[in-house]
Structure 1
Amino acid sequence: MRSDSFTAQVLGYLARTEAPFTGSVTPTIPRRTFRSWLRAALTFTPVLVPEADVDLRGADLRGVDLRGADLRGVDLRGADLRGADLRAVDLRGADLRAVDLRGADLRGTSLRAVDLRGTDLRGAQLRRADLMEANLYGADLTGISLTDTDLHYTNLSKANLSGVDLTDARMTGIHLNSADLTGANLTETHMPGAELRSANLTSANLTRANLSTADLTGADLTRANLTRADLYCADLTGARLIDARLIDARVKGTILTRARLDGADLTVADLTKARLDGAVLAGANLLGADLTDVNLIGADLTSADLSDAVLVLARWSLETGWPAEMYERIRNMSDEIEPGIFRIRADEAWDRESAPEPALT
């Protein structure tokens, strides 16, 4: 469809600051009346296919009904689409930088590879939208629902996602570096290999989330709920998990070097082969946790509850802080494998029946 076609002209009129048809032999049509006319016209023209050179930068498209339209590659930078009905619209490859989409209806819309940097999406509806490979760097999505949404390889770095519902969202390879996910609901999200460096996940719900091989270095997960989450081989170097819940979580092979786990609940968590060197676990609950072959060199486990924990082949150092009542027993069950470095022997079963009770405070 050529850019001088009927649809392109109509969309072009909407981009103007003055009312369309000015200077013609017919009376000038007020802008508000024209938008109403357009909505009626689209009832009979449900599929629009404008060329990529249609320029809608800064257009006032508030409340416009564009359901089912094909707007691939259209330039909508800075446009006002507040309250617009964009259900099932194809916006693949379009430029929506700094667009105001507050309250817009984008359910089932294709936004694949769309540039949405700095876009305001507060109050927008995006359930089941396709945002695969879209660029939402610095966008504001505060409090919206992204349930069952395709976010594979989407860039949401530095975006505001506080309070967002991402239940069942598909997020393989997503970029969330320095994003604000405070209080977000990420229950059962699938995000292996995700980038969450320095992300704020304070009080976020990550129950049964798949974060295997994800990069969470420097992330803040204070008071986050990671019950039964999969953190297999994820990198949480320097992360904060103070008072976090990791009950029955899979933390196998996970890097937690210098992480803060003060008061964290790791009851029956699988920490096999995890790296906890230099980590702080003071006051943590490790009841029944599996710490087989874990690296505890320089870790702080003072006042931690290690009742029924498995520590076979765990490595530790003279700098490792054990609960006072456990140190002698741990030392007697360990071999010095290099100066100042010890390993708990594999040929001696950890006697769960006689494991010491945590010290009363």
Structure 2
Amino acid sequence: MSEKKEVSNIEGFSSRRFQKLTEENRELKAYVAEVMQRLRQNERLFSRMFELESQVLKSTDPEDLCFTLLRGLRSGFELDFVRFWLDRSSFMGGHKLDALSERDLVWVEKGEIKQMGLSRKRAWLVQLSAESSFEWLDAQDQHLGSIALLTLGDLDKPFGVLGVGSVDRDRFAPDQSSDFLQHLSQVVGMTLEHAVAREHLARLSVTDTLTGSHNRRFLQPHSHQPLSQWFGKTKVACLYADVDQFKLLNDRLGHEAGDEILAAVSKALRAHVRSNDPLIRMGGDEFVLLLPGCSEEKAREIAEQTVQAVAGEELKDGEKTSISVGVAFSAVDKDMAVKALIAVADQAMYVAKALGGNRFEIAESDSGSGDES
């Protein structure tokens, strides 16, 4: 009897042990399946992230970079909300970023990021509700269930915040891992800083430090191009300005006065034109101003105003200076090279100088007629 009971107990124990092993095996399989699913999700996530990073690194300027990030995050990560908040007092404040709408970008004032407490760590995960909201969100963002706030730049001196959001309250719940988001925060911050630095260096390389105008290096890539390739199919006016007796003034009054003259000429040429009209210091005391879409009447007016403005400048010891300006226009029926138009304006400038200076001359047209001031 005892043997039968012992056998029965052993069988019962074995049965229970087998059931437990079966249950543990089922749980293990479920766990492995869940881990594999997460690994596949993470693989897809990092694949999309790598693709986005590659696109970002190809961006040519801060505006293009921000636009690429916004578009890539929305489409590649199924987000319902993506927005930059950038500190107006930071290095980003000098960039207009016109391609970004008010929904894409909001400027905040100095210290606001720290006041919100966002500079204490890289990533903040927030579940949103009527009782728990984020004050930088608008009324039109009330449909969001959760957001992640990524601090950009050095935490001691952040320059912005990138917000990404979802209607799903669990997407960015505080108990979720934020490793990926912290990585994204650092990538976005560093690439924006590098993009601004690259743009600044590129601008310096084609900028004349004395006058703030472009230098000859800026013109080099365009010099042999047809005007239409640079400005499109439109008539272009060109002003070529040269300071009268500059070397004598520079020798008599000193280099500091010479620098003041060049700065005054640059300012006078800029006074009545659009901010994107190329003004180039060709070297020494010579300047070229290109005016796409400018009428002949307007170009004459600008030339006259520039000559008068420079003549009105008073230098050291009451000395005066003046400039000679040549004005040329591209032919309507001929797509001139940029350097050819500049050469015609240069010739007209020499005519103005030969006639005594302090004047402008219009280059002769193809028909042979010319005008003078």
Same fold (TM over 0.5): no
Q: Which structure features the higher share of helix residues?
A: 2
Question: Looking at both structures, which has the greater relative contact order when contacts are Cα pairs under 8 Å and sequence separation is at least 6?
Answer: 2
TM-score norm. by structure 1 comes to 0.25
TM-score norm. by structure 2 comes to 0.24
Q: Which structure features the higher share of strand residues?
A: 2
